[in-house]
Amino acid sequence: MIHLGDHYGQLVQMSYITRDMDAAVAHTEAEMGISGLSRGEAEIEVLSYGQKRPLIVKSAIANLGTRQFEIIQPVSGAIEIYTDAVDLSGHILNFHHIGIAVPGAYSEWERLLREVETSGDEFAYLFPAIPSPDDKLCFCYVDTRLRLGHYTEYLWADPSLAGIPAAPWLTTPLGT
């Protein structure tokens, strides 16, 4: 079984879901003092609980050293893991998942995928939908809600991408 605690040294992200990105960013700046969030919209294909599906989300990310604060607004496609997991009417920010970096070569990503497959937890998302050693950026959401109360995301980026905002831990490795 995968033990999340074994990977906590690589914790890189706290992620929240919102129904209104503008209001969530304003709240984050006013209430948390986190400013300079980089905003974007992504349209990708994910493997969601075994089915290839489109996913469109808006996001806002602030890198705080080697850590990230992320806000996601689900737009369309395979958004159920965002909309079914939280009460979007309850608060402008709703905790959703933690993100764990998977440092190293692509073989470390493959090892993590095997660990998840034997853990008993399901992949809620896998990106790319069909992993390949040619990939440069990969992530998966693992449905750890029954054991932990939230989803867990694992993120891998090829070390050659050091310096990109999406993977601040590549420039300054965690634990240094």
| Domain CATH code at residue 151 | 3.10.180.10
Task: Output the pLDDT for position 141.
Answer: 96
Instruction: Tell me, yes or no, whether 144 lies in a domain.
Output: yes
Instruction: Tell me, yes or no, whether 127 lies in a domain.
Output: yes
Task: Output the pLDDT for position 9.
Answer: 83
DSSP 115-172: HHHHHSPEEEEEESSS--TT-SEEEEEEE-HHHHSSEEEEEEE-GGGTT-TT-GGGTS
Instruction: Tell me, yes or no, whether 28 lies in a domain.
Output: yes
Instruction: Tell me, yes or no, whether 176 lies in a domain.
Output: no
Instruction: Tell me, yes or no, whether 161 lies in a domain.
Output: yes
Counting the structural domains of the chain, the total is 1
What is the C-alpha to C-alpha distance for residues 61 and 135, in angstroms, rounded to an integer? 22
- Domain residues for the domain of 92 are 4-170
Give the angle 94-95-97 at the CA atoms, nearest 5°: 140
pLDDT, one tens digit for every residue, the chain (176 residues): 666 667 888 899 999 999 999 999 999 999 999 999 999 999 999 999 999 999 999 999 999 888 999 999 999 999 999 998 788 888 999 999 999 999 999 999 999 999 999 988 999 999 999 989 999 999 999 999 998 889 999 999 999 988 888 888 887 766 54
Instruction: Tell me, yes or no, whether 43 lies in a domain.
Output: yes
